[in-house]
């Protein structure tokens, strides 16, 4: 068997767990989309809130349609037992998560909690809601990345680790 077929076998063996973790990630993304968009869709309270509103809009876009499509795509691959489909959408999800979602958490905090963001907080009737949403997102970020790492491990990580570091025990590679 080749590496891709071993990953396919590993993914299928862990199908239910991967689907459950993926659905949890989709729910979390949708939750933050709804929270951030509920603030972003309101008029900007003052001109010095532009950076904060940009961060809210970017969070809404990334948490909503972008990550949502990526998660549904890789879950479709898992459900249909297609490792290539899973892999394409998982890589897209990883790029959006590590390259966009992670920096946006930092950008949102910097724009909402420092400099003009503090003035915007005072002016914004949803200021407390924004801070609680942001803190909740930072707290849940750890669980989100743990779920992503778990999906990676279950789908192909254990196969890749076994290929890179072959064990001495011949019974090790049983799924």
Residue 74 lies in a domain: yes
Is there a domain that residue 7 lies in? no
Q: What is the pLDDT along the chain (175 residues), one digit of tens a residue?
A: 688 899 999 999 999 999 999 999 999 999 999 999 998 898 888 888 888 899 999 999 999 999 999 999 999 999 999 999 999 999 999 999 999 999 999 999 898 888 888 888 888 888 888 889 999 999 999 999 999 999 999 999 999 998 888 876 655 555 5
Q: Evaluate whether residue 5 is within a structural domain.
A: no
- Please give the pLDDT value at position 75: 98
Task: Please give the residue range of the domain that contains residue 42.
Answer: 17-162
Q: Are 159 and 5 in contact (CB under 8 A)?
A: no
Q: Running DSSP on this structure, what letter comes out for residue 173?
A: T
Query: Would you state the pLDDT for residue 49?
Result: 86
Residue 4 lies in a domain: no
Domain-embedded: residue 148: yes
Q: Does residue 26 form part of some domain?
A: yes
3-state secondary structure 111-161: HHHCCHHHHHHHHCCCHHHHHHHHHHHHHHHHHHHHHHHHHHHHHHHHHHH
Give me the pLDDT at residue 174, please. Answer: 59
| Contact call for residues 14 and 151 (beta carbons, < 8 A) | no
Tell me what pLDDT residue 48 has: 84
Domain presence at residue 11: no
Is residue 105, in this structure, part of any structural domain at all? yes
Distance CA 148, CA 153 (A): 9
b/e per residue, 154-167, with b = 16+ CB within 10 A? bbbebbbeeeeeee
Domain count for the chain, please give it: 1
**pLDDT for position 9:** 94
Question: What is d(CA 4, CA 14) in angstroms, rounded to the nearest whole number?
Answer: 15
């Amino acid at each position: 068997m080749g590496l891709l077929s071993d990953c396919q076998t590993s993914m299928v063996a862990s199908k239910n767990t991967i689907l459950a973790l993926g659905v949890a990630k989709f729910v979390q993304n949708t939750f933050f989309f709804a929270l951030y968009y509920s603030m972003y869709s309101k008029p900007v309270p003052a001109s010095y809130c532009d950076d904060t509103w940009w961060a809210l809009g970017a969070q809404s876009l990334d948490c909503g349609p972008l990550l949502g499509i990526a998660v549904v795509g890789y879950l479709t691959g898992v459900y249909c037992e297609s490792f290539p489909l899973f892999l394409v959408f998982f890589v897209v999800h990883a790029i959006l998560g590590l390259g966009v979602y992670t920096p946006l958490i930092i950008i949102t905090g910097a724009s909402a909690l420092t400099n003009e963001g503090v003035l915007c907080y005072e002016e914004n009737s949803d200021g407390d809601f924004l801070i609680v949403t942001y803190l909740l997102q930072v707290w849940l970020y750890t669980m989100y990345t743990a779920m992503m790492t778990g999906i990676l491990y279950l789908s192909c990580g254990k196969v890749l680790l076994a290929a890179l570091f072959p064990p001495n025990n011949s019974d090790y590679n049983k799924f």
